[in-house]
């Protein structure tokens, strides 16, 4: 089983915040792949489905960001999972807006949701990092992450979320490199090779 965790804050006030991109991505995966309706469990909203032939539990903690680890830890213990069975989708200040990276383990980079999860289950879980860019001034970080996406940003974010959902079977199969390759091809498809023009036949009128 894969525990697919989207990080965010509950409630309509936060729906379009940059900090809620994890919720947005998980919601689209749940919708696109016909998961069960959400229900309240493990201090979260939880939906069940299948991706890549593996059972997946989609989890959106309702504890607010800073206590996300309570919800993740409760679900992990109930199903007797290991940290490596968990994939967390979250916003990342240290990535350029619109960039995606996936890795296992690592630091928290000032992210309170990751810090909470680390404290409850350790660092050895997978992270799908969604770049939201840094505002350039540490005093503006709080308002940046808790601010709504701008119009152009939201269009870009929704395009990336669609690509994540389209390729989510690879997440269920734990084929993370293949997932990243597929997403990249959707977002930046290769340019078609230009066809060589056919050699024109000689004009009979020009022949002597």
- Report the residue count for the chain: 208
Helices assigned H by DSSP within 42-175:
68-78, 112-121, 141-145, 151-166, 168-172
Active-site annotation holder among 19, 90, 126, 144 = 19
Known active-site residue 134: no
| Cα 24 to Cα 161: distance, rounded to the nearest angstrom | 7
Q: What burial letters (b/e) apply to 10-37, b meaning 16+ CB within 10 Å?
A: beeebebbbbbbbbbbbbbbbeebebee
* CA distances to 20, 189, 190 from 193, in Å: 39, 12, 9
* CA distances to 92, 101, 124, 197 from 83, in Å: 20, 18, 6, 56
Active site residues: 19
């Amino acid at each position: 089983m894969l525990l697919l965790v989207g990080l965010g804050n509950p409630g309509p006030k936060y729906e379009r915040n940059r900090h809620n991109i994890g919720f947005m991505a998980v919601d689209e995966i749940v919708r696109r792949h016909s998961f069960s309706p959400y229900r309240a469990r493990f201090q979260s909203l939880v939906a069940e489905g299948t991706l890549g032939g593996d059972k997946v539990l989609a989890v959106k903690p309702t504890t607010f960001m800073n206590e996300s680890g309570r919800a993740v830890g409760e679900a992990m213990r109930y199903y007797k999972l290991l940290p490596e069975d968990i994939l967390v989708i979250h916003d990342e200040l240290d990535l350029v807006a619109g960039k995606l990276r996936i890795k296992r383990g690592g630091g928290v980079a000032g992210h309170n949701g990751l810090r909470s999860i680390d404290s409850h289950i350790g660092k050895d879980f997978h992270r799908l990092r969604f770049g939201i860019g840094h505002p350039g001034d540490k005093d503006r970080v709080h308002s940046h992450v808790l601010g709504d996406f701008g119009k152009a940003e939201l269009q870009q974010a929704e395009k990336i979320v669609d690509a994540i959902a389209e390729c989510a079977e690879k997440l269920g199969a734990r084929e993370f490199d293949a997932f990243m390759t597929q997403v990249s091809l959707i977002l930046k498809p290769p340019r078609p090779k230009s066809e060589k023009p056919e050699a024109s036949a000689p004009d009979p009128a020009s022949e002597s």
